[in-house]
Structure 1
């Protein structure tokens, strides 16, 4: 894929220089690696990070017209800014995707097309993953291997994961799922809670 730009990066936005004082690589380490089960989280983090870096131009704007001899200075700056943002956005996304997934994606030189290809591939996976999480949430039982607090936090984390997929578990349902997951030795607690 080539070397990633490191050190202060400079981009042009509306004719003004904008300095990005960090490397793409260090920021990519903060984005979860895209796997089969975390598309929604990855998608949100990628869009946020590219926005903070002021590289989301290619995700928000169509490619400007190619530069010709008749292009104005403003058109040249816009084209060069878009081209740079596109190249860096594409590299950033590829750095945050597992290799086995990368190889199954179409090769494109347009960051927005690449992001849409990833989204199309994972739209179905997210839906099937959400049903798996819901099934786990409804059938999980406290096994006594760890503390009750850890068990409850584990269930709450599953509900939060469900929310990142664009769906939400009502708090009263979550409480009911948790109470149902506890064995009979917690009946006094269940009665007191109700």
Structure 2
């Protein structure tokens, strides 16, 4: 016996980071996860389903109908998670795969520039005593986490060096 928890569609939509044109990788990952949880990722995983014909059996009909349903709801879900000022620059399409490919091609390059900005911020960040040591380290690890979501892997030993090198002399014992 299976027990399913019914979670409203809109509650999934509100738990995904709003796509603003600068955070494609992060949003793409979250959208794929939520569509998978809601069992709506069929349209993303498969090419456009074939047309129902007289020769289609019951299973083929169910698969095709589920694919169409998945496509419609996936498009709605993705469009709900795009900032208003960004929506106008995304072409309207009836295929969730085409929609996602367009967004990926159009906004993926912004991820590359964001990696550069975050790496510069990570390398130039200095502990100036205006916040606690804990907050300084948390801020550094948050930058690192954002880099990871953008596909930039930074080894932990480098992170330790990024944290320790800019510390004032009074923290020399570290």
After TM superposition, the score normalised by the length of structure 2 is: 0.91
Mark the CA change 1:173 to 1:147 in structure 2 (over 3 Å): closer, same or farther. Answer: same
How far apart are the structure 2 equivalents of 1:127 and 1:142?
27
Picking from 137, 140, 156, the partner of 1:152 is 137
Q: Residue 164 in 1 paired to residue 161 in 2?
A: no
Task: Work out the number of aligned pairs and report it.
Answer: 171
How far apart are the structure 2 equivalents of 1:50 and 1:144?
44
CA RMSD of aligned residues (A): 1.6
Higher relative contact order (CA 8 A, sep 6+): 2
Mark the CA change 1:90 to 1:106 in structure 2 (over 3 Å): closer, same or farther. Answer: same
Q: Residue 88 in 1 paired to residue 92 in 2?
A: no
How far apart are the structure 2 equivalents of 1:74 and 1:163?
41
How far apart are the structure 1 equivalents of 2:115 and 2:71?
32
Q: Residue 36 in 1 paired to residue 21 in 2?
A: yes
Mark the CA change 1:26 to 1:57 in structure 2 (over 3 Å): closer, same or farther. Answer: same
> Where does structure 1 differ by over 4 angstroms across 4 or more consecutive aligned residues?
none
Q: Deviations over 1:160-188 (max 9, x none)?
A: 1111111111112111111222233x3xx
| Residue of structure 1 equivalent to 2:51 | 66
Query: Which runs of 5 or more residues in structure 2 are unaligned?
Result: none
Q: Is the 8 A contact 1:35 1:98 kept in 2?
A: yes
After TM superposition, the score normalised by the length of structure 1 is: 0.82
Q: Is the 8 A contact 1:20 1:53 kept in 2?
A: no
Query: Which runs of 5 or more residues in structure 1 are unaligned?
Result: 1-18
Post-superposition offset of 1:143:
2.5
Q: Residue 125 in 1 paired to residue 85 in 2?
A: no
| Residue of structure 2 equivalent to 1:180 | 165
